[in-house]
Amino acid sequence: MSSDQSLGNLGLTPTSLAPVMQGLCLRPSKVLITNAQIDSRLCQAGSVFFAIRGSSVDGAAFIQDAQSRGAAAVVVPRHQGPMALATVNCAVIAVDDALSALHMLARFYIKEHRHVTLIGITGSVGKTTTKEALATILSYSGPTAKTPGNLNSEYGLPLSIFTLALGDRYGVFELGIDHVGEMERLVSTLTPSYALLTNVGISHLEKFGSTAVTAHEKARIFHPAIEAGFVSAHCSHLSLIQKRSPTVLQQYSLADIKAIDLGLEGWRLTWKGQTFTIRAVGRHLLEDVVGAITVADRLGLDAPSIARSLEGFGSMPGRTSVQSGAITIIDDTYNASWDSTSTIVSYLSRLMWQGGKKVVLGPMKELGSASESAHRKVAGLLARSSFTGAHLYGPEMEVAKDELKRLGFGGEVTWTEDFDILGQQVKRTVEKGDLVLLKASRSVAIDRLIPSLSQQWGAYA
């Protein structure tokens, strides 16, 4: 990530950087600042390390580590300035708040790239696929920056912004939020000219409380100065979102494109007379691609260019990516919500398959009071599916195990809170020719099962 930053183009030193963030350089330096970090382990020569206080960790505890890795400066709250001066020998910048200072620097950086067309993407699920598809299309028209990895929060977005280079024509950035007020901060920093909202689902309800609040907060991406906004026609709370928007939003849906389902091979699409194939499994990912096409069309890219750019476009690792071998693994382990879980389970249930279908499900996190009902609903969906076995993992999935038993699910069901036992259960029941879906929230890292499955059944293409 840090090697992709272009912060060095500003020619800032710790001394000249401080006023940009309304701070004071307690120990001046003329060393060139080349990149910004919030993780001391990623620091290198020329880094400025922002000592941000998190919910459980104070970044100030890592300023010495940042310096040892080459940091040219550390940014700390004013009251920690004396401590920092006594701890490190590099430049020290004192600010009111380290996170706010990081956003100030990002806003300053954006002003140096006024020529770039900025596009913001938000939604409960589908942000990354939409971002990747749109960035792929726009790259055919001109140099395009995009959110690297999942740096889309109030901590990650500024770091993503620093990847903008002087020659870039477009910047496509994800704006991910999990609490009230976060979108306002992100939009005040990025202020995209174009914005897209994929959907509103049951996620992060521990902090939002309801999907209506989620919709209201995500709709803040459509700020007063927005040039154009886009939203899925199937998005819940659509009227609330449109009411919140200062402009009429352009809706998109699968009806905008002709699609032939190729199963695990993806989709053959026809749009404006152009036919091309994408390697994305599931209708939800297809709709994300349609959203990207809609934005690109509005930006003036012609249909042949869009079709050529998307030929062979595939889903990202961990997002229904297919690994084929003696068994076929559908790796959908990047994240899990009720919407994404129900969609992929339903799709694969309808898929014609010669072997057995097994599913390994971990918990859907951050659902708050909706957690138990959501996990119970997953069981109800599985009970009506063509899956022949279910391996459930984590305390939240116990209710799903009980519900499957109550509904008389015909396949084998296992449940455990021990990951090693889960691996043994999966290894024991998976057979040659099986299709195996892995699905769970990212914090569970259920993709740890893939190496052992690979070892058991051979390498995957």
Query: Hey, where are the domains in the chain?
Result: 2-95, 113-310, 321-455
> What is the structure's pLDDT at 283?
85
> What is the structure's pLDDT at 280?
87
Q: Which distant-in-sequence residues (6+ apart) come within 8 Å of 433 by Cβ?
A: 326, 327, 354, 355, 356
C-alpha to C-alpha distance for 311 and 332, rounded to whole angstroms: 22
Q: Which of 435, 246, 268, 431 is nearest to 358 (CA)?
A: 435
The alpha-helical segments, DSSP class H, found in 51-180 are 63-68, 81-87, 98-111, 127-138, 156-161
Q: Which residues of the chain have pLDDT under 70?
A: 1-3, 203-206, 459-461
3-state SS, residue 73: strand
> What is the structure's pLDDT at 1?
34
Q: How many residues in total does the chain contain?
A: 461
CATH architecture for segment(s) 113-310 = 3-Layer(aba) Sandwich (3.40)
> What is the structure's pLDDT at 204?
60
> What is the structure's pLDDT at 101?
98
C-alpha to C-alpha distance for 36 and 47, rounded to whole angstroms: 5
* Cα 336 → chain centroid: 11
Determine contact, residues 129/280, Cβ cutoff 8 Å.
yes
CATH number given to 2-95: 3.40.1390.10
Domain 321-455 has CATH 3.90.190.20: yes
pTM to 2 decimals?
A: 0.90
